Amino acid sequence: MNILLSTIQKIDVFGVPIFLLTNKNNPLYQSKLGGIVTVGLGIIQIAPNISTKKQTLGYTEFQLQDSTLQISLQDFSGDVDPFQQQNNIITPLLFTYIDKTIYEEPIALYNTLEQPYLIQLNNASLILNTLDQQDVKLQKQKQYLIVLARCSNVFAVNGSYCADENTINTYLSKYHGFLFFNIKLSQFNYRTKDFEYFNKLYYTSFDVNLPQYSQILLKQQETIIDSGIVLNNYERFSFLNDYEFINQVIDNSFSQKIINTMSNFTYNFDSYGCYLIRIDNISIKEEITHPKLGQILAQIGSIVQLIFLLKHIVLYYNTKLLENELLNEIITMYYPEFKVFQLDIFNKFKFPIDKNNDQFKPSISNLQDKYFNLKTRAKEKCKLNNILYEISRIQFILQQQFGDIVLLQSHQMGGKIDLNQIALGNIKESNRLCVKPIESIDLEFSNQNIDPLELLIKQF
């Protein structure tokens, strides 16, 4: 956590200038709070306006992709696949409704060896047309009906045949669990403009003695994105975002009667399930409008005001934090015992007194009062006129002690450059750390000259 806060502190853009009376090498004094505010301002984004509403559709078209609708049987009684093409027991038949009529013969939806017990509806187009006034330019309503029919040679295609009657009757006399409806739905990510797919499951019983008629209402969503900065730039996306089931129990001859009534064909079969697939009239309309130039400029004005307000607060905080740190340094110059005090991120003083140390135990409140009194005096010491005053007092003391001539001669005083010392500094570290006789060590140490600039530098 400390490493993270130190990294955030380095990106503080509200740093205050550091004066010469500090031991800081950086040109600015930065704080963790300023870094946090900088990160917060850096991630500010102008969010788009998103509105969602329900609407009633009179006409729409939708293309189902591969594996959008899957029906699988979870059979608890055995390992016989009733939907297989050879030795077929139950034939899944796909009827196409055009308006209110079936014009074409059904398509058998046998499963494959790779996916047993599974029925799929691939590449099917659905059309919703419930307009009161029909337009010749628009297509008629198109729906699909999946019927689970007892196998009959009437529906046989090349390579398919029914199981014998004994096998079919034996299978139908048992309970066979559930039918799983797996429908692939989508949600739209407007940031990446990509679809995110997910599956929604629906479980229903599969009982050949109590077949069900189910309406599968596919709910459509239309997302309209306006990404224009000055003028409108619309993009439209349509996808399935939900579905609804409406169930009712029927008899085994219901599907046969409906199909014979709505078509020119005559069939005779028992059905064990009937599922109508259509588009729901109620859809979701989502409108995403990115900010226009005028809105951006208006919001930028508010953001700039916020930035200036935060800048004023953080600059004040950094200035006070720097001031307290400098005053703390001055106090510890005179009273090193105060080095135990530190400044936290909220600019408050901490007093980490050791429980085993009796030095500060009598009164923490008195110690705090003493500290704040010293801080007030240290603030006075930082003033330039006070610094010049102290230097003048030192001058008068030296003048009284040594006289005027010594002070005048100080103009000619200074350290001499030692060429041997410069040469020693250029020698590599590996050569300097070699083993030498002990008698030569004292001699070398006595010959070392300390740089005058290093004599009274404060050791941190």
pTM over 0.75: no
Output the pLDDT for position 452.
55
Q: What is the pLDDT of residues 406-447, one digit of tens each?
A: 888 888 877 776 666 555 555 544 444 454 454 554 544 444
Name 215's bridge partners: 246, 276
Do 183 and 322 fall within a single domain? no
**Do 135 and 101 share a domain, yes or no?**
yes
Helix (H, G, I), strand (E, B) or coil at 11: coil
Torsion sign over Cα 316, 317, 322, 328 = positive
The strand pairing partners of 88, in sequence order, are 162
Of 325, 351, 382, the one marking the end of a domain is 382
**Inter-helix orientation angle 364-381/293-334, to 10°:** 100
In a domain, 454, yes or no: no
Tokens 């409704």 belong to residue: 97
Q: Is residue 437 part of a domain?
A: no
Q: Are residues 30 and 84 in the same domain?
A: no
pLDDT at residue 438 in the model: 47
Give the chain's domain count.
2
Tokens coding 428: 């590599």
Helices and strands, counts by H and E, the chain: 11, 19
**350 and 304, same structural domain?**
yes
Q: Which residues of the chain have pLDDT under 50?
A: 18, 20-21, 23, 25, 428-433, 435-436, 438, 441, 443-447, 453
| pLDDT at site 411 | 81
Whether residues 57 and 103 fall in one domain: yes
Same domain, 131 and 251: yes
pLDDT value for 80: 86
**Residue 313: per-residue pLDDT:** 80
Buried b (16+ CB within 10 A) or exposed e, 209-236: eebbbbbbbbbbbbbebbeeeeeeeeee
Inside any domain, residue 399: no
Residue 365 lies in a domain: yes
Q: Does residue 105 belong to any structural domain of this protein? A: yes
In a domain, 97, yes or no: yes
30 and 61 share one domain: no
Amino acid occupying residue 355: K
Together in a domain, 184 and 139: yes
In this structure, the answer to whether residues 144 and 267 fall within a common structural domain is yes
Domain range spanning residue 366?
2-44+294-382
| Structural domain contains residue 405 | no
- pLDDT recorded at residue 326: 81
Residue 375 has what pLDDT?
81
Decide if 450 is inside a domain: no
- Whether 279 and 126 have beta carbons less than 8 Å apart is answered as yes
- Domain-ending residue, one of 256, 289, 322: 289
Residue where a domain stops, chosen among 289, 318, 342: 289
